[in-house]
Amino acid sequence: MKEWMGKIRTLSLFSLMVLLLSACGKENLTTFIPKGYGAEESLNVITISTIVMTAVFIVVMVIFIYVVWKFRQKKGEENVIPKQVEGNKTLEIVWTVIPILLLIIIAVPTILVTYDLADQSEIDDSITINVTGKQFWWHFEYANEEIQTSQDLYIPVGEKIYLKMLSSDVIHSFWVPALSGKMDVNPDNENTMYIQAHEEGVYWGKCAEFCGDSHSLMDFKIIAVSKEEYAQWVEDLQNVTADVQPETTTAQEGQAIFEQSCIGCHAIDNTPSAGPNLSNFGDRTTIAGVLEHNEEELVEWIMDPNSKKPGNGMLGAPYLQNKGEITQDDAEKIAEYLMQLKPSEITPNSAQ
C-alpha cells in the first residue's frame, strides 16, 4: 500500500516536473534553464526584478480590489456625495520614496552584470572567433586556428569564447538563449561578446534582429564539447583539404558536379567563401540551419532552395538560372558527396 502511494507520489512529482519543464520551454533553447555564464547572470537579474515588481503588483492589486469592493455604489446611495479630498502629502512622499528604494535594488545588480558581461580583459588569451551574419546563415572563422566553418559552431566547455561579430549585409542579432543574451551583428561596426558553456550540449541559436524573408529560419547551433574533444576537432578540421576522393562512385560523380557548379560559392576546405563552408557538412546538425539532416531534404534544397528558405542567397546561383544544369539525378549525387564529408570523429553526438 505504502509502496503504491510512493509510486503515485513519484509519478505525480515526475509528471509535475515534466509539465513545469515544458512550461519553461525546450531545454538548450529556453532562457529559463541557463547552461552558460551570460544566461545565468541575466536570469539572476530577471529573477530579482521579477520578485521586486511582483511585490509592487501585489500591493497595487490589494488596494485595487479593496477599493473596488468597498466603495462600489450600493443601492440607495446613488445620490451620496463623498468627501472631496485634495490629496495627502505624506502618502505622496511614501509612494515616491519607496519605489526609488525598490529601483535601487534592481539597478545595482543590473549595472554590475552589464559591466561583467561586457568584460574583455581576457580576450587576448582566449579563443576568438570571427562571426559573420549573412542573409540567412552564419559563418564562423577561427582566426588563430585558421579554420572556416558555417552554421555549427564548436566550442570547448567551460571556457570564455570571444566572438567578434560583423554582418555582410543587414543587421542580424546573435542569440543563444540557453547560453547568453543577444548582441547585434552590425554591418559597419564590429561588436564583441563572449559565451561560456557550463555543460556539453547542442544549443539552439537564433537570429533575433529582423533581417528579411527568412529571418525566422536563420538558426544555427553551438556545440559545446570537452576540451580534449575540441582540441581533436580543431586538429581534424585544420587538416581538411578539398581534393580528397570519396569512396563511392556516385559520390565521386557528385564531387565532379560540385566542382563544376557549386565551388564558385562554397568551400570544402579552410578557404574563405561567399556561401557557407561545407567542409564538415556530413556532421552538420541540420541542413540550412532548420531542415532535417538527410539526403532527401538536401536534394529538395538543391532543387528548390526558395521553397525551404524564402529569399535566401542561393537563389542567385548560376545553376538555378540555367534550367536543367543540375538534374534531380545530379542533385542526388551531390547530396551523397556532401553527406560523406566527415573530417572529424568529433560530431554533435560527442556533445554529451
Partner 1 sequence: MSTMVATNKRSFGSTLWDYLTTVDHKKIAIMYLIAGGFFFIVGGLEALAIRWQLVKPMNDFVSAGLYNELITMHGTTMIFLAAMPLIFAFMNAVVPLQIGARDVAFPFLNSLGFWLFLFGGILLNVGWITGGAADAGWTAYAPLSIISPGEGVDYYVLGLQISGAGTLIGGINFLVTIVNMRAPGMTYMRMPLFTWTAFVASALILFAFPALTVGLFLMMFDRLFGSGFFDPNMGGNAVIWQHLFWIFGHPEVYILALPAFGIFSEIISTFSKKRLFGYSAMVFATVLIGFLGFMVWAHHMFTVGMGPAANSIFAVATMAIAIPTGIKIFNWLFTLWGGNITINTAMLYSLGFIPTFTMGGMTGVMVAAASADYQYHDSYFVVAHFHYVIVGGVVFALFAATHYWWPKMFGKILNETLGKITFWLFFIGFHMTFFIQHFLGLMGMPRRYWVYLEDQNLDLGNAISTVGAFLMGLGTIVLLYNVVITSVKGEKVGPDPWDARTLEWAIPSPPPFYNFKQLPLIRGLDPLWIEKTEGRSGMTPAEPIGDIHMPNNSILPFVMSLGFFIAGFGFIYQKYDAIWLSLIFIGMGIALGAMLTRSIKDDLGYHIHKEDLEKEAKE
What gap in Å lies between CA 339 and CA 58, rounded to an integer? 57
Q: What CA–CA distance (Å, rounded) separates 298 from 305? A: 9
Q: Which residues pair with 225 in a beta bridge?
A: 156
Close Cβ partners of 47 (under 8 Å, ≥ 6 residues apart): none
Count the site residues for partner 1 by CB under 8 A: 93
Min CB(43)–partner 1 separation in Å: 8
Task: Name which of 60 and 231 has its Cβ closer to partner 1.
Answer: 60
Minimum CB distance to partner 1 smaller for 16 or for 24: 24
Residues 78-97 close enough to bind partner 1 by CB under 8 A: 80-88, 91-92, 95-96
Per CB under 8 A, which region of 24-32, 274-282, 326-334, 342-350 contacts partner 1? 24-32
The answer to whether 309 and 136 are in contact (CB under 8 A) is yes
Piece in contact with partner 1 (CB under 8 A), picked from 4-12, 199-207, 230-238, 319-327: 199-207
- The nearer residue to partner 1, 242 or 291, going by C-beta atoms, is 291
Q: Interaction with partner 1 in 260-299: which residues (CB under 8 A)?
A: 290
CA dihedral angle for residue 97, residue 100, residue 104, residue 110, rounded to 10 degrees: 170
Using the minimum distance from each CB to partner 1, give the nearer residue, 84 or 144: 84
> What's the burial of 89, exposed, middle or buried (CB within 10 Å: 0-12/13-18/19+)?
exposed
Rule CB under 8 A: is residue 45 a binding residue for partner 1? yes
Q: Given the complex with partner 1, which of 300 and 325 has the nearer CB atom?
A: 300
* Residue list 206-245, contact with partner 1 (CB under 8 A): 206-217, 219
- Are the beta carbons of 298 and 338 closer than 8 angstroms? yes
Residues 166-195 within binding reach of partner 1 (CB under 8 A)? 169-171, 173, 175, 177-178, 180-184, 186-189, 191
> Using the rule CB under 8 A, which residue among 35, 42, 151, 279 binds partner 1?
42
DSSP state of 75: T
Look up residue 312 and give its DSSP letter.
-
Rounded to the nearest whole angstrom, what is the least distance from the CB of residue 218 to partner 1 in the complex? 10
Residue 225 in contact with residue 349, Cβ under 8 Å?
Answer: no
Query: Which one of 9, 12, 99, 122 is in contact with partner 1 (CB under 8 A)?
Result: 99
DSSP 292: -
Question: Which residue from 10, 12, 22, 322 is in contact with partner 1, where contact means CB under 8 A?
Answer: 22
Measured in degrees and rounded to the nearest 5, phi and psi for residue 339 equal -70, -20
**Does residue 308 touch partner 1 according to CB under 8 A?**
no
The answer to whether residue 202 forms part of the interface with partner 1 (CB under 8 A) is no
Segment near partner 1 (CB under 8 A); pick from 26-34, 235-243, 294-302, 322-330: 26-34
Shortest Å, Cβ 332 to partner 1: 25
* Whole-Å CA distances, 141 to 133, 149, 190, 234: 12, 6, 14, 12
Q: Name the segment binding partner 1 (CB under 8 A); options: 111-119, 262-270, 271-279, 331-339.
A: 111-119
Least distance (Å) between residue 1 CB and partner 1: 37
**Of 168, 118, 125, 120, the residue nearest 144 (C-alpha):** 125
> Per CB under 8 A, which of residues 141..170 are in contact with partner 1?
169-170
Q: Give the nearer residue to partner 1 in terms of CB position, either 46 or 263.
A: 46
Residue 115 binding partner 1, by CB under 8 A: yes
Whose grid coordinates read 534582429? 209
Please give the C-alpha separations between residue 331 and each of 24, 32, 281, in angstroms, as whole numbers: 41, 42, 15
For partner 1, the binding residue among 2, 3, 71, 76 (CB under 8 A) is 71
Hey, is 206 helix, strand or coil? strand
Distance, in Å, from the CA atom of 170 to the CA atom of 134, rounded to the nearest integer, reads 8
Contact between 36 and partner 1 (CB under 8 A)? no
| Helix (H) / strand (E) containing 38 | helix 37-70
